[in-house]
Structures are given as C-alpha cells and as structure tokens.
Structure 1
Amino acid sequence: MQPVYALLHGWPETPACWRGVIREVADEARMVALDLLEIGANTDGSKAALAEAVHAVVEDLGLHDVTLVGHDCGGMVAYAYLRRYELRRAVIMNTVIPGVAPWEEVRRNPYIWHFGLHAVPRLPELLVRGREREYFDYFYDVLSPAPEAVPEEARAQYAAAYASDAALKTGFDWYRAFPADAAANAEPADVTTPLLYVRGEREGGDIAAYAAGLRASGVRDVTTAVIPGAGHFAPDQCPREVWDAIRP
C-alpha cells in the first residue's frame, strides 16, 4: 500500500503550491492536497477549527497511515491537528506556531508587520480587494531568494483564488485567529507523533530555537531539516528538495 501524504498550503497560496512536489513523487506515494480556503470557509479561522475540518476530510476519504504536511498557515493547522487527533507522523514547514517559542520574538519583528495588519477587522480587505496580485507579489518577492522562484503562472492562479470577498476574508481570518490559537496552544500537551520541522536555508531564523519551542510545548519527538537554496515558499521554489526532506 502506498504511503499517504495530506498536504496543507499556506497564505497566500492554494493546493497548487504542491504541484511540483507531487510531480517529483510520481508513483511513490498517494498525495492529497487539501484546499483550506474551501474546507475552512465556514470556520472562525482558528487552527483548531481548521484542524477539525481537515480531520473530517481525512475521515471521509478513509485515509490511513497519514503523514500530514503543512506549510506556513497550513503548518499551524498541522500543529493543532497533531495535538488533537491520532496521527502517524507530521511535517511543519516555514512557519512559527502561535503561542510556541519563538512566537513572541517573531511577533515583535518589524519585518513581520503583516501579522498585525491582517488581524485588523475589514481593513486589509478594503486595501487589498482588486489589488490581490500586486499585494501578494510583494511577499513572493521579498520572501524568495529570486523573484522567479514563485513562477508567473502560480502567482496568477493564487491571486485569482483569493479574488472573491469570501476567500479574501477567509485568508485574513487565519491571522485574526492568532490570539485564540496562542491561547489554545498554551494548554499542556503530550504529543507522541513524530514531527519534522522544516525551514528554507534562505529564510532566516534559528531552526534550533523553533525545535526547542516545539519540544517545550509537549511534542516529544522533533527532528529538523533545512531546504538548500529555499526561502519561505519552499514547495514552490524547491520541490525536489522538499520531497527529499519529507520522504524519510
């Protein structure tokens, strides 16, 4: 039986961010890329609610022996999931977890200004509506080692996916839920699911500090991997290297 990988995208992307990884996998595994904009549309944006929605899909599809892989906000959902549900193994990529060190340090970083803006009710929608492509391009450019790392076709597809009022609000609600996420993650946990934490080589941040925070939060088995040459959007930028990291 093929191993199963359930893939969760981040903001401002869609399940299409995994297309390069899926091509690399070929027939080695079954890959199921979930659309958080769709399955999370009727939630409050909290990662616990999104994890519940993901769990319902996993159950409905009858997936077993699942490796849950989450990138960016999808990684926050993966963390919420492994705290609540039985899971064989998990991968969290390119993100910090609300309430888990170094969360406060990251939140204070002026270069992470968008966490605050996106949390303001209604304002980011007013500013970004109709300008999704220009706004998203800023993040693809500054968080990538080179602009072409997130290709034109992908950028156009992501902007189109967030172009509706509902989708734009859903994405910003993920940020508005950070205080609730942090409070939920402060509850004691004892997680035995093996967790691989991944960052891009060009992303910055001390990966050891992220691993230490996850262990302190109650995750017993944490290993790490660095994706050579990758920035923040590692699945888009370095699909072969991402697959080489998560496959073992």
Structure 2
Amino acid sequence: MRSADTASKVRERYVRAFSRPGAMRAGFELYRAFPVDVERNWDDLKRDGKLTMPVLELPGAASAFAPFTEGMMREVAKDVTFRTIERANHWVPEENAKALVSAITDFL
C-alpha cells in the first residue's frame, strides 16, 4: 500500500491535470459515449456472437462494480477468467500494480 506522502503526490498530480482548461470535459466524454457504445456493442454481439478468445476480468476487490462485472463479461465472452485484485478499487493499475501484473502473468 502506498505511503501518505505518495498518496498526497498522486492527488496533487490529479488536481494539476484536471485543473487545466477543458480537462474535466475531456474526462467526462468517456461517460457521454456510453449510450452509443452500448448500442454498438450489442449490435456486434448480435452479428458476431460472443468473444471466443480467453478474457481476463480483474476488478478491484473494493470496487462497487466487482460483484457484477463477471456476469457482464460472461454475457459477451465464452471463456472468462475472473479474479479480484486486493487492495484496489477503481484504478487497479495505480492502486495495486504488483498484484495486477501477477494476475496477468498467471493468466498468460
């Protein structure tokens, strides 16, 4: 787990990045695109069927999304490996990179 000093530096970096003109707008575009993405993804699923390649799903164990992401992934993929990453929430690579790399390495 990161130290308070490191966490403070990370917060400062986010504040600087999101304080730039237009930065928040750009970040929110991801969420504005969701309705279009949903339609496109369902159309692809209907046309092509479920993904056939192995899929690795790795939400943070503390994420509010963790309890239902496995089911969501199984809707669109035939071969799903699901694990949660301990000591992580939404930003898994930042919150527990070592466990993330280990899980990916094991999967591969």
TM-score range, shorter chain: 0.7 to 0.9
Provide the TM-score with structure 1 as the length reference: 0.36
Instruction: Say if 2:53 is the partner of 1:193.
Output: yes
Which of the residues 131, 156, 169 maps onto 2:12? 156
What is the Cα-based RMSD across aligned positions, in Å? Answer: 2.5
Aligned to 1:86: none
SS where residue 83 of structure 2 aligns?
strand
Residue 61 of structure 2 aligns with an amino acid whose one-letter code is E
Q: Distance in 2 between matches of 1:239 and 1:178?
A: 27
Deviation of 1:239 after TM superposition, in Å, equals 1.8
Distance 2:92 2:34 in 1: 23
CA distance, structure 1, for counterparts of residue 30 and residue 84 of structure 2:
26
Work out whether 1:221 is the aligned partner of 2:79: yes
Higher strand share goes to which structure?
A: 1
1:247 and 2:100 matched: no
Runs of 4+ in 1 over 4 A off after TM superposition: none
* Structure 2 gaps, min length 5: none
In the alignment, which of 177, 181, 186 is matched to residue 33 of structure 2? 177
Could you say which residue in structure 2 is the equivalent of 1:235?
Answer: 93
Identity %: 27
Question: For the structure 1 residues 169 and 224, does the alpha-carbon distance in structure 2 shift closer, same or farther, using more than 3 Å as the test?
Answer: same
Greater helix fraction, Structure 1 or Structure 2: 2
Q: Kindly tell me: are residues 193 and 161 of structure 1, through their superposed partners in 2, closer, same or farther at Cα, counting changes over 3 Å?
A: farther
Please tell me whether the aligned partners of residues 60 and 86 of structure 2 are also in contact (alpha carbons under 8 angstroms): yes
Structure-2-length-normalised TM-score? 0.73
- 3-state SS of the aligned residue for 2:90? coil
Q: 1:99-158 deviations in whole A, cap 9, x for unaligned? A: xxxxxxxxxxxxxxxxxxxxxxxxxxxxxxxxxxxxxxxxxxxxxxx994x711112112
Counterpart secondary structure, 1:196: strand
Aligned length: 100
